[in-house]
Structure 1
Amino acid sequence: MQIIDNEESGIEINEAGVDLGGLMTVLSKHLYSTPVVALRELVQNGHDSIVRRRIEDSNAFESSIKITVDSKMKTLTISDSGAGLTLEEIHQYLATVGVGYTRTLRAQNEDSDGLIGMFGLGFLSAFVLASKVQVRTCSYQTPNLTHLYQSRNAQNYTALLCEHRGEVGTDVILTLNENYKELANEQRLNHLLSHYCALLHEPIFIGHNELAINHEVPPWRITEEIHPIQLHKRRLSFAKQFESHFEPITTIPLFERAKTNSNEISVVEKDLKGLLWIQDGAFYGTSDNRNLAVFVRGMLLDDDAKDLLPTWAGFMGGVIESQKLTPTASRETLQKDNYYYEVKHAISESLIEGLAEIAKKQPEAWRRILTRHNEALLAAALCDDRLFNLLQDKVKIPSSEGDILVSRLINKERKIHVMLSEEAGFEDMIFRTLKIPVAYGHRYAVIPFLRKWAQLNNLVLIELGTEKGNQHFFTKEELDEVTTKVLSDGLCDNEQLIVAKFLPQELPLVVVPDREAILKNRLESDEADKRISSAALDLVRQFTKKIETRPEIRVFINSSNPAIDFIIHQVKMGKDVSKSILLLKSMKIIMTASGDSQVNVNLSQALSDISQLVITMND
């Protein structure tokens, strides 16, 4: 720590030093998610040096960044044709932590969008990878002089005149640490840098390859006239490069409609460029395969920025490019400031408009999207009224008759029936008999979608399995206590008997689980205390207290059915109906048979009873 005596005030001022050893630990172990990102920072420095020369030097030059390796010597060299450094600038910028010329240049020039660096830490990243760093540089300001910077730890260095480089620019020569010697491999470098540097404007060459790794112009930068079909193919080809899991069905350029139809374009729309695409492949509605790569000033910053896409868009991928999004210090993620959320909203708006355009202009692609992502779109429709209007008559609902449009669920009384259980129960039997489709409400987003659809179209949605829903279906009737007891004793096993009229008349009885009672009993049992946190359990028990205690299973007998009507009259007349009731009970057991072992025992008995009844009936 250096001590400075301030003569004017008589106060001793302490100037803090920098422990570069500690800073290097932060850089190598904490700042970057992987030290290989340090390589990107060095390419960025070369890129910014070229932009600087273009701004400051009036002489024409050919811009390029070249990366070469020597696998035997374990060296990696990054060469650029940029502005270079004078000896004074070596001392000022290479040897001073947090001081970068790029930031100064950006402050001095309005037209500096091509500059990437921000924090003055980029050069230090070389020491993450290398045991020795050499910088051979020739400044455009002193084109006949070349200087060589050398250091092993960034804290101690030498800077001397050396053999002339031959041209303006800089070579950063890394003698790689043992841990990173695999970087002295052109194929490995090509894989890494073609990912990070795909959108940089300056050409980047690896080895002696004459084709730059970033030679392909992204679709939104195409300036020449191009046929729409060719442009569509270019967009799909670009999407395939970035979509690692699925084939893109079609693409959505950002703000396409705003550019052509709006006189007022927002700051975000002026700044943000890019391409979204819809993935092929069918998913369950809750699948989240969003992927979004974000480039800031041409350099890949975050290839996992899926949070910028709407949560309902689990089938989307994309690449965006911005000059104004702010990176964190590691330049691997974005700061979630106000502008970040403006971009998030703008992407969502562009995506909604894009889906509408596809539906209008790309019918074949739209059909594929609806087929692949029906369940996800069902949920998406609930997130925005525009999406609901677009999708309400296009998405299909899982039902007893397969996946069908909502319009096919409406009966003559303008009612839609939905069953809440995933197990086929009385609802499935009744509606198959009536030949009326019933929706499967346990599937993803079906219930809220149907509720909204019914409300907007003035329909009645009957949710079967709930007390309120069953009231629409069963018209209860009262019997005298004696008849009720005879029927209950003969038909029920710890179940509640209810006499009602319902369709179809041919069905004598149905077994209906009372799902509210099941929920109440389950949550109020001692076992629930072991499985559910006390706070959550208290909340749900406040709800279940409102549900009256009643049996979990109800047996509805159909007084409209001729057999039931006959039995009721026989009981009232004092006749023996035990065989008839036993036959109905056996039928009840068969209707409710499942894999449960106790039910299987009852099923065997029920089948045996039917056999005996058939024999006695013929006696």
Structure 2
Amino acid sequence: RQLGENLAIFNPEDASRLVGQFGLGFLSAFLIAEDVTLLTRSYKEGSPTIRWHSAGDVHYNVSEVDDEIPIGTRVSLRVKPEASFLLSERVMVDTVRDYADFLEIPVHVTGGAPVNAMTAPWDSVDPELAMREYINRAFGQMAPLAIIRLEDQEISIGHDSITVPLEGFLFVPPGTVASIQEYGDVNIFIRRMFICERHSKLMPPWAKFVRGVVDCPYLQPTASREDIQQDDMFFRVQKALEEQLTQGLKRIAEEDPMNWKRIVRGHRNVIMGWAVKDETFFKEVMDIVTFRTPAGQKSLPEYTEETGGTIYYITREMGSQQDQLLGAGYGVNVIDASWFAEPTFLQRYAHMKPGIKLVKMDGDGSQLMQAVPEEDYYKILEYYRGQNIRARVVSFKPDDVPGIISYPKDAEFIKETRDALDRGEIPGPFASMVGDYMQRMNVDDAAMAGTLNLNANSALVQQLAEAEVSPSRDAALELIYQMARLFAGRMLDTVDVTHAFRMSAASIQNLLDEGE
């Protein structure tokens, strides 16, 4: 350590090439060796050869020997029997290539040519090709969307600034269909010596769509050399990486906007999840991220241009077909925002874009329904009242749909909580608290069963409104109700579904009997 500190003062360039701290590495030799012999000779003319020998205990022997060795140091290990597998040439070559492939010092195994490359990919004759080959070999990924080569980065620390020496590169992996795979990991080297792979704490927390290789002499390995110490320098390197990554992404966005779109859309869920936590990053991606609609993926600028500035969206997958059907009837694409970060993203977008209106359509899509006078429909409403079914007549699109079911806000939560209380799944002290909360909610039990919205635009509903009371009319009205329940796809357990099919079958049978 003292040698490194002195070199850093008097010869920074040599200090940057000093690999590790000899004591720790030397100590590790005794993990696999019965004993270790070290021969060393100074560069000074006439210097003797010094021999050091130890079996790994508190005793050691130092003596002058007559052996004439070249200037430098030779370390010999007599390997323990249980570690003899390490003497396999294949194992030794693989180990050298794993840990010392980038060292500028040649490493030989059983003579012959050096087995290490001695050149890092970013310093190769063709760095772009070499980095892509390394990405394929080390990360198992082909065709990265972008590669950002690292270089020294100046960062501010209080009223001063320092330059953090950086080598390596960051890259954006190809996008996936699911777009939920989080990365944000790097392979770490110190002075070209490999330390650890897939380290996930050095990268900024929002960069979960980026991977890479980082070589920085400011990083300090732990004693086991399997991780990095999280000291002050660690966080300075982290800051330098974040600034350089941000600059690199901005450069891609400005110089290659099509590729920037591929990056954002290829990793949309991960990017969106972090964008809602970081306003600066949000501004960079808010107009590029796409959302699912019945008409395909659309960015928010594309979508709002079609809707005149209104964003129609749903936040639950269950019932989404019904809500999207209502929207489609009015020529409106309803955004599927059922993934957890999407509603927050839309809300922030509307907040930052004056004139944008949000319409949440979960449950009933009431924003697209119009009230109508019910006098002409009193006979069919009377039928539903007799069946203890809440019903009303409204107009909505498309005209071919005779009726849909709507439920109160938080209906699923209320039902699931009640069921959990009934089954005793909530512990005693919490059960009473939850029960009190449910009472304070003042839930309308009749509304919990749902409201049937009959479509006044439907020719079938109009025909039934004029029809006389008869078994076939009642069967048709029952069938409309059960079809609406099943189509809503909400608030139904297996008993409810079975009952709905049974009633539908009975209604169809009544219609057939009436026809005979």
**SS of the counterpart of 2:145?**
strand
Q: Distance in 1 between matches of 2:183 and 2:205?
A: 10
Report the alpha carbon displacement of residue 489 of structure 1 after superposing the two structures with TM: 3.3
Residue 26 of structure 2: aligned partner: 123
Report the alpha carbon displacement of residue 460 of structure 1 after superposing the two structures with TM: 1.6
Of 438, 453, 459, 2:349 maps to: 453
Q: Distance in 1 between matches of 2:505 and 2:265?
A: 44
**SS of the counterpart of 1:308?**
coil
**SS of the counterpart of 1:587?**
helix
**Does the CA-based 8 Å contact 1:285-1:379 persist in structure 2?**
no
Residue 298 of structure 1: aligned partner: 192
Residue 251 of structure 1: aligned partner: 147
Equivalent positions of 1:116-515 (< 5 A) are 116-118=19-21, 120-141=23-44, 143-219=46-122, 221=123, 230-245=126-141, 247-254=143-150, 269-282=163-176, 284-362=178-256, 365-366=259-260, 368-370=262-264, 372-410=266-304, 412-423=307-318, 424-443=320-339, 445-457=341-353, 458-465=355-362, 470-475=365-370, 486-489=382-385, 496-514=390-408
Cα separation, partners in 2 of 1:412 and 1:155, compared to 1, 3 Å:
closer
Report the alpha carbon displacement of residue 447 of structure 1 after superposing the two structures with TM: 1.7
Residue 501 of structure 2: aligned partner: 603
Report the alpha carbon displacement of residue 528 of structure 1 after superposing the two structures with TM: 8.7
**Does the CA-based 8 Å contact 2:380-2:465 persist in structure 1?**
no
Q: Distance in 2 between matches of 1:442 and 1:473?
A: 20
Q: Distance in 2 between matches of 1:187 and 1:137?
A: 29
Cα separation, partners in 2 of 1:373 and 1:539, compared to 1, 3 Å:
farther
Cα separation, partners in 2 of 1:366 and 1:209, compared to 1, 3 Å:
farther
Q: Distance in 1 between matches of 2:19 and 2:503?
A: 80
**SS of the counterpart of 1:556?**
strand
Q: Does 1:561 align with 2:453?
A: no
Cα separation, partners in 2 of 1:205 and 1:529, compared to 1, 3 Å:
farther
- The TM-score, its normalising length taken from structure 2, stands at 0.81
Cα separation, partners in 2 of 1:102 and 1:184, compared to 1, 3 Å:
farther
Q: Does 1:587 align with 2:485?
A: no
After superposition, give the CA deviation of every residue in 1:446-483 in whole Å (9 maximum; x if it has no partner).
222222223333222222226xx845334557869987
User: Which amino acid in the other structure matches residue 436 of structure 1?
Assistant: V
Q: Distance in 2 between matches of 1:143 and 1:581?
A: 115
Report the alpha carbon displacement of residue 540 of structure 1 after superposing the two structures with TM: 8.0
Q: Distance in 1 between matches of 2:258 and 2:204?
A: 24
Report the alpha carbon displacement of residue 120 of structure 1 after superposing the two structures with TM: 3.6
Number of aligned residues: 500
Report the alpha carbon displacement of residue 136 of structure 1 after superposing the two structures with TM: 1.7
**Does the CA-based 8 Å contact 2:286-2:349 persist in structure 1?**
yes
Q: Distance in 2 between matches of 1:535 and 1:198?
A: 62
**SS of the counterpart of 1:376?**
helix
Report the alpha carbon displacement of residue 428 of structure 1 after superposing the two structures with TM: 3.1
**SS of the counterpart of 2:410?**
helix
Q: Distance in 2 between matches of 1:140 and 1:585?
A: 101
After superposition, give the CA deviation of every residue in 1:19-56 in whole Å (9 maximum; x if it has no partner).
xxxxxxxxxxxxxxxxxxxxxxxxxxxxxxxxxxxxxx
User: Which amino acid in the other structure matches residue 356 of structure 2?
Assistant: L
**Does the CA-based 8 Å contact 1:517-1:547 persist in structure 2?**
no
**SS of the counterpart of 1:276?**
strand
**Does the CA-based 8 Å contact 1:138-1:167 persist in structure 2?**
yes
After superposition, give the CA deviation of every residue in 1:103-147 in whole Å (9 maximum; x if it has no partner).
574577452233344584332211111111111221223654212
**Does the CA-based 8 Å contact 1:398-1:443 persist in structure 2?**
no
**Does the CA-based 8 Å contact 1:409-1:439 persist in structure 2?**
no
RMSD: 3.9
After superposition, give the CA deviation of every residue in 1:492-529 in whole Å (9 maximum; x if it has no partner).
6xx64344444445433211244502202323444598
**Does the CA-based 8 Å contact 2:310-2:359 persist in structure 1?**
yes
Report the alpha carbon displacement of residue 185 of structure 1 after superposing the two structures with TM: 1.9
**Does the CA-based 8 Å contact 1:509-1:557 persist in structure 2?**
yes
Q: Distance in 2 between matches of 1:545 and 1:252?
A: 58
**SS of the counterpart of 2:101?**
coil
User: Which amino acid in the other structure matches residue 297 of structure 1?
Assistant: R
**Does the CA-based 8 Å contact 1:491-1:581 persist in structure 2?**
no
After superposition, give the CA deviation of every residue in 1:338-395 in whole Å (9 maximum; x if it has no partner).
3323332332332233223223434664454355323333334334444433333333
Report the alpha carbon displacement of residue 193 of structure 1 after superposing the two structures with TM: 2.3
**Does the CA-based 8 Å contact 2:317-2:338 persist in structure 1?**
yes
Q: Distance in 1 between matches of 2:45 and 2:434?
A: 77
Residue 511 of structure 2: aligned partner: 613
Cα separation, partners in 2 of 1:415 and 1:535, compared to 1, 3 Å:
farther
- The TM-score, its normalising length taken from structure 1, stands at 0.69
User: Which amino acid in the other structure matches residue 481 of structure 2?
Assistant: K
After superposition, give the CA deviation of every residue in 1:167-217 in whole Å (9 maximum; x if it has no partner).
111111111122321211222122222222234343333332423504223
Report the alpha carbon displacement of residue 533 of structure 1 after superposing the two structures with TM: 7.7
**SS of the counterpart of 2:297?**
strand
User: Which amino acid in the other structure matches residue 420 of structure 1?
Assistant: T
After superposition, give the CA deviation of every residue in 1:228-255 in whole Å (9 maximum; x if it has no partner).
xx54334323433432455533311236
Q: Distance in 2 between matches of 1:329 and 1:342?
A: 21
**Does the CA-based 8 Å contact 1:586-1:610 persist in structure 2?**
yes
**Does the CA-based 8 Å contact 1:150-1:157 persist in structure 2?**
yes
Cα separation, partners in 2 of 1:250 and 1:562, compared to 1, 3 Å:
closer
Q: Distance in 2 between matches of 1:319 and 1:443?
A: 32
Report the alpha carbon displacement of residue 166 of structure 1 after superposing the two structures with TM: 2.7
Q: Distance in 2 between matches of 1:211 and 1:364?
A: 43
Q: Distance in 1 between matches of 2:499 and 2:315?
A: 28
**Does the CA-based 8 Å contact 2:17-2:191 persist in structure 1?**
yes
Equivalent positions of 1:7-18 (< 5 A) are none
